[in-house]
Amino acid sequence: MFSRLKKEIKVVFERDPAAKSVLEVIFCYPGFHAIINHRIAHFFYRKKCFFLSRLISHISRFCTGIEIHPGAKIGEGFFIDHGSGVVIGETAEVGDNVTIYQGVTLGGTGKEKGKRHPTVGNNVTISAGAKVLGSFTVGDNVKIGGGSVVLRSVPSNCTVVGVPGRIVVRDGLKVENGKVQVDLEHHMLPDPIADTLAAMEAKIQELEKRLEVHERGVAV
């Protein structure tokens, strides 16, 4: 148990530069509380103690604002930053070294039975407000931009932004000293919509200038 606590605390210090002390993490980090409570609830869920596991999950949701179904499978090195409004469904599977921010949903798209939530690979960052909905796979080393809505599979080593989510970077993996680094620069993402609007604005300005020249010629 103490080994597990040490690992979870270490993850917080690795991902959050605001963490000042172990006591602060233990008593003041809802993401830390949520994952510890989930580990306990998931243990009872695997033992088929469904009511007890849901009760632990429900109390944790009330205290942290983070809802993780006890049936969800979550790997090592999982980190929730801030965390308010995070929802992770029953059949979701999350790999190792995954970071998610507030308002993220790993949800389903209907009332179907069986596997209905996403499977998230290793070294994935899901930015604030993103929704990953459906039974599909998000590959390793993927970054999902804030507010994106992902509705289909994402290959490994990609960056996804927009509604619906579109792949804007592939194989843009950050590597330092020969090792894969957990990339938390979730604000530094391309914005294809903004780029398109900027191109349209430039074209409109060009057309306005041409129209002005034409009107001057007619007036003369």
Determine the pLDDT at residue 6. Answer: 87
Alpha-carbon dihedral angle through residues 26, 55, 94, 19, given to the nearest 10 degrees: -10
- Residue spans per domain, the chain: 2-189, 190-220
CA distance 207 to 115: 53
Q: Over the range 193-204, which residues count as b (16 or more CB within 10 Å of their CB) and which as e?
A: eeeeeeeeeeee
Collapsing DSSP to helix, strand or coil, 36 comes out as helix
Determine the pLDDT at residue 64. Answer: 94
Q: Which of 17-31, 33-47, 173-187: highest mean pLDDT?
A: 33-47
Q: Say how far residue 55 (Cα) sits from the centre of its chain.
A: 25
pTM of the model: 0.75
pLDDT digits (tens, 9 = 90+) for 11-21: 999 898 888 99
pLDDT digits (tens, 9 = 90+) for 177-212: 444 455 556 556 666 677 778 888 888 988 888 888
**Residue 211: C-alpha distances to residues 185, 192, 202, 205, 217 (Å):** 44, 29, 14, 10, 10
CA distance 216 to 220: 6
Q: Which fold has domain 2-189?
A: UDP N-Acetylglucosamine Acyltransferase; domain 1 (2.160.10)
